[in-house]
Structures are given as structure tokens and as C-alpha cells.
Amino acid sequence: MDPTTLSLIQLGIVFFALGFLGRLAGRIGMSPVPLYLLGGLAFGHGGLIDFGSINDFAHIASEIGVILLLLMLGLEYTARELVTGLRQSWMAGLLDLVLNMAPGVAIAFLLGWGPVGALVMAGITYSSSSGIIAKVLGDLGRLGNRETPVVLAILVIEDLAMAAYLPILTAVLSGVSFLGGLTAVGISLAVITAVLLGALRYGHIVSNVLDSPDRESFLLKLLGSALLVAGLASALQVSAAVGAFLLGIAISGGTATNATRVLEPLRDLFAAMFFVLFGLNTDPRSIPPVLGFALILAVVTSATKVATGWWAARRQGIAILGQARAGAALIARGEFSIVIAGLAVASGAVPKELAALATTYVLIMAVFGPIAARYVEPFVRLFQGKKSPGKEPEVIL
Amino acid sequence: MPQDPSAGLYCVPQALEHNVNSLLMTTKVRGMNIEETPLPGIGVRREVRLATGRRIGVVTHRDGHTELILSRMDDPDACAASIPLSAEEAAALGSLLGSAQLIAQLSAEQKDVAGVTTHQILLRPGSTYAGRPLGDTQMRTLTGTSIVALLRGEQVIGSPRPDQVLEVGDMVVIVGTEAGLAKAAQILQSRS
């Protein structure tokens, strides 16, 4: 068969299957990311069926997927929210960073993956999934809760930390010398600061350039600028993902809201491809050996996230139940752990088992996180020795 | 904080106070503290603390839709209800609450002026003036009272003009002396 024909058929099957998986995820109220990963595992080498001929397309599509994921992460928070978050919650952010990077570092050294592996694993265990968490908080009707701003503030800081972490990661993964690495990091930190300050004052200019009443031209301008900035950033050794992220921060106000709306379907398509490709490139047979480690890591890093949320909520004068809710809400890991693992695996600087461990870990955390957020309340009440009141009567005044 | 009686019915926030060491910002409106909390990536939450200790408020999402929230009694950090409202529903609820406030406020403002009170008179079916402009009643000339507002379902028509057409079911809010108000009621309830 003609290779193009074969690719079309295989791609069609993949997207069709992903559509069903996404629908299934929606039905049972979970993030589709773990199911996409499982889908990739099933299609890939050593999986149920072998789909070799779509790798070329999948590769570029997944690159675009990462760029769109980061662009939309940048769009999620305005520059002002980032700066305010940093000023008000930096202590909680620092605790979050230390507590949640430590287990990743420890397991990397335990498995003999060296300092590069440790840096990668640190990022994987650190980054909560803002996508999953924001959805869970909305679904559980917790947007009115007092601890919710505390949770969101931590996510905002993680977001900022990503902007510093990704360039460091890219520099280290490309194996540059210590001095070269420092230069890259210095450049990117300076650029980040400049963009952040610039976005506060001149964000409207970027928005005005990109904005267009016409949906079609708006979409093309957005996508064009994102790929252009990402490509240039990559050429400057800063990491394409960070470039897209900074562009997202620079776009502000109503333009950002519109951009989110326009880009969402594209992000869903390309990011799905990214997750599938990650799954495709992970050999399912490499999972059983790391399953035990993934479970240990899941238990430890759930505990460290709970501790982070607990402490941050307590500092805002929130009671025990709220502290527990804040802690449990933060557990979910997802897309960004896979983005980090994806960058690492693509560079070839880390062993193959890291991909298996990251996949297994994210599968566990993306499923367990929302469950923990839902059931933490009755669980804590049980400990307090109080009977769960169940649903409160509608009117008590 | 001194209250400015001339601030009008729908007053603007009078002062902004930054609440230090917390994520929220407080705005004072008519003596009530409205606490405003940014929810990064989601929107803004604005709430009022009730005398019972509960919090009641609104989460405004970035895409414009709103949620009515009410805190729980046993756990004030959490919410007993969080009710998504469409733009129309939110506006309807707002004017229901707003018209109650309008009456209370008019009564309060006239309290100090001796002999002047506020009444609400319902325009019943069969009234002479149903479907006719307000000016036809010659209310001020005949009774010395002023019609300050019409409450029509969920709508509040403030300071109606003489060409405003009255409808059956309108709640007519009138300010005047007792004698004037009695006459006004007669006029509005007269049958053709």
C-alpha cells in the first residue's frame, strides 16, 4: 500500500480511538491524559498493535502539542496574577518546590540515573496539573471555598517556576558545559523577567498586534507567532516551550480569553498526539520493573503535596477540613510531568526506564489526585471521630 | 466611614482597603464589606459576610458566567451551595434583591423629612390608567406626590418620565404626605 494511504488509515484509527477514550474519560469524570498515555502504550512498540508509519507526523504534531500546552499555560494567568502570586505566596511556593522535588531527586539517585536524571525527576514530581486541579475544583463546587485561592496561588507559582526550570533543564539535557549552561540560564532568566515586566506595562501592544475581529486570521496569527517565538527560543538554546509560555504571558486581557477559546481545540488535538507519542515510545514491557518505584513515589509525593497545601492553608487561618482539602487538591500530576519527561527522553540524556517510570507515575497520580480531592473530607471527618453530616439541609439560618 | 446620602441608589465603591497578609481585597459598599478574592486562571470571587456569620457571594468566571455561592454553617471555609447562573438568571435575581433595597432605601431617606412617606401602590387590572402614559394621571398637580419608580416584574424603572406607559401589575412607588398618598391611591385605583 502507498505509505501516505497507510499513514492516513493509521492516523484515522488513532484519532478515532482517542475520541472514544476521551469520551470515556469524560463519562467517569477524569482527565483524558492517562487514557491517551494508555492508548499510546497499546498502539506502540511491543504493544497490542504496531503503528510504525505515522511516527513522522506524530513527531512534529507532538512538538506543536507541547508548544500549545505551554502557550495556553501562559495564557491561563495574567502577568499581574503571576507577580501578585509570587509576592503573596512565595513561602508556600518555596515549600512546595523543596518538598516535592526532593522525592524525585532521591529516587533518581536511588536508581543510579545521576544528576541529570535527578533534575528531570524533580520536575516530574514537582509540577501539579493545573488543568486537572482547576477542573476538579470547579466540578466539586469549591470555587467559593476559602482554601481555593491558596491552592490556585501555589499553582501560579509552580507556573512561574516552570519558566525558570525549563531553560535550566534544556541546557543541562543538551549537555552544554557548566559555563555554557549558566549563560543559557542567565539569558533565559533575564528574558523571563523582561517579558514579565514588559507584559505588565506593554502587554496590550502584543495583544493589539495579534488581535483580530476575524476568527480565522486571529487563529493564524496566534499559531504563527507561537511557532515563530518557540522556534527562535529554541535557536537561542532557551527551549521552544519556554518561548511559547512567555508569549502566552505577554498576551493579556480580552485577547487572552479569546485566544484560549480559539486555541483550545487545536491544543486538544496536538496535545493528544503528544501524549500518544510519549506512550508509543514507551515500551509497555519496561513498566512492570518500575511499578514498585512508581507506587512508592506516588505515596511519598502525595504526602508532600498534602503537607504543602496543609501548611499554606493553615497560614491563611483556614480550619482543619479546609487544610486537608487544599492538600488533597494539589496531588494531581499530569500534562507537565509528561512534557518534562518528553523533553528528557527526546534528548537521549536519560535512560529509557525514566519514560516508563514517568508514564506509570503520571497514570497513578492523574487518576488518584481527583479521587483524593473528592474523598478527603469524609476521610478527615472519620479521623475527627465526627459523623459525616452528609448533605446539609438546604436552609439553616 | 461616613455615608454620603447623595450617593444615589446604585452607588460606586466608596473606598478600597487592602487587606494585608491575605489574598483578598475589601471594598466597602453602603457599610457592607465586599470581599474580593482573585481566583487566578478562573475569575473573581466577591462575597459579603452575613450577620449570621455566613458568607454569600458570586464567583464571576472569565468567560462571563456566574455562580452564586453560600458558605456552609458547620464549616465556614466550604460551600453549602454553588449554583451556576446564566446571565439572564443572574440579572433577574439581582433586580429582585435590588428592588427590595430600593424601597428600604427610599423609606430610610425620607425618614428624616417630617410627614413624608413612601408607599407602593399596585396597578390592578381594570385601572383607568393601565396602558396610558404616566403624565395622564396628573399625579403631582392633583396630589402633590411624586412617582419615583416603577417596579415591573424583574425590572426597576427609576425616575419614570411622564411619557412612560403604565402596565397592569406595575408596582408604583410614590413619595408624599399621607393625605397626598391617599389621593394618589384613589387615582391609580379608579376604574374606567
- What is the per-residue pLDDT across A350-370, written as a single tens digit (0 to 9) for each? 888 898 999 899 989 988 998
Distances (CA, A) of B105 to A139, B5, B6, B101, B173: 39, 10, 12, 6, 12
Res. B188 pLDDT band, cuts 50 70 90: confident
Query: Which residues from chain A sit within 8 angstroms of residue B55, using beta carbons?
Result: 144
Residues B104 and B163 sit within 8 Å (Cβ to Cβ): no
| Confidence band for A313, pLDDT divided at 50, 70 and 90 | very high
Report the distance separating Cα A380 and Cα A367, nearest Å: 20
- DSSP label at B127? B
Query: Can you say how many angstroms the Cα of residue B81 is from the centroid of all Cα atoms in its chain?
Result: 24
Looking at the complex, report in whole angstroms how far the Cα of residue B16 sits from the nearest Cα belonging to chain A. 17
pLDDT of residue A307 exceeding 90, the answer is yes
Q: Out of B39, B63, B73, whose CB is closest to A152?
A: B39
How far are the Cα atoms of A98, A154, A157, A166 from residue A95, in angstroms, in the given order?
5, 10, 11, 19
- Decide if A319 and B75 are in contact by the 8 Å CB cutoff: yes
What structural domains and CATH numbers belong to chain B? 5-85 (no CATH), 99-189 (3.30.70.1450)
CATH T-level topology, domain A32-384: Na+/H+ antiporter like fold (1.20.1530)
Contacts of B77 in chain A (CB under 8 A): 145-147, 318-319, 321-322, 325
The answer to whether the CB atoms of A325 and B78 lie below 8 A apart is yes
Work out the minimum CA distance from B66 to partner chain A, whole angstroms: 11
Q: Please indicate if any CB of chain A lies within 8 Å of the CB of B70.
A: yes
In this prediction, what percent of chain B has a pLDDT beyond 70? 74
Q: Closest approach of chain A CAs to the CA of B60, in angstroms?
A: 10
Rounded CA separation B157/A321 (Å): 46
What pLDDT is recorded for position B53?
Answer: 83
- Estimate the crossing angle of helix A253-280 against helix A215-235, to 10 degrees: 60
Identify the three-state secondary structure at position A139: helix
The pLDDT, as a whole number, for residue A293 is 94
Cβ-based neighbour number of residue B153 at 10 Å: 13
Q: What is the pLDDT of residue B18?
A: 36
| pLDDT tens per residue, range B127-167 | 888 888 888 888 888 888 888 888 887 677 888 888 888 88
Search chain A and give the residue with CA nearest B21.
A88
Summarize the confidence of residues B113-137 as an average pLDDT. 82
Mean pLDDT, residues A77-101: 87
Give the residue, B37 or A49, on which the prediction is more confident: B37
Q: Which of A145, A159, A391 to mutate to test the interface with B (most CBs of B within 10 A)?
A: A145
| Residues 6+ positions from A59 with CB-CB distance below 8 Å | A277
Mean pLDDT within A37-55: 69
Can you give the pLDDT at residue A126? 95
**Does A321 contact B78 at a Cβ distance shorter than 8 Å?**
yes
For A86, A192, A288, A363, the CA distances from A360, given in Å and listed in that order, are 32, 32, 9, 5
Write out chain B residues lying below 8 Å of A81, CB-based: 38, 40-41
| Residue A102: per-residue pLDDT | 96
A114 with A136: CB under 8 angstroms?
Answer: no
Among A82, A89, A148, A397, most B C-beta atoms within 10 A, so best to mutate, is A148
Counting residues of chain A whose pLDDT is more than 90, the rounded percentage is 27
- The mean-pLDDT minimum among A215-229, B21-35, B81-95, B176-190 falls in B21-35
Domain boundaries, chain A: 32-384
What's the pLDDT tens digit per position in A97-141?
999 999 999 999 999 998 899 999 999 999 998 888 988 888 888
Q: For chain B, what is the mean pLDDT? A: 77
pLDDT of A239 > 90? The answer is no
Whole-number pLDDT of residue A249 = 82
For residue A142, the chain B residues in CB contact (below 8 A) are 78-79, 82
Per the CB < 8 Å rule, is B78 touching A322? yes
Name the H helices within chain B: 87-110, 139-143, 178-189
CB–CB contacts below 8 A, A to B = 93
Contact B67, B83 (CB under 8 A): yes
- pLDDT > 90? residue B189: no
Q: How far is CA B159 from CA B9, B163, B173, B181, in A?
A: 11, 12, 10, 17
pLDDT at B7 (0 to 100): 37
Give per-residue pLDDT as tens, A156-181: 899 888 878 888 888 888 777 667 76
| Pick from B183, B84, B106, B87: nearest CA to B150 | B106
Half-sphere exposure in the Cβ direction for A110 (13 Å, CA): 13
- Å from B107 to nearest chain A CA? 26
Q: Which of A35-44, A52-61, A103-112 has the highest mean pLDDT?
A: A103-112
- B79, three cell numbers: 460551600
pLDDT band at B23 (very low <50, low <70, confident <90, very high): low
Interchain contact, A142 vs B73, CB within 8 Å: no
What is the pLDDT at residue B192? Answer: 66
Cα–Cα–Cα angle for B130, B96, B114, nearest 5°?
Answer: 75
| Pairwise CA distance, residues A17 & A2, whole Å | 23
Collect all residues of chain A within an 8 Å Cβ-Cβ radius of residue B67. Answer: 143-144
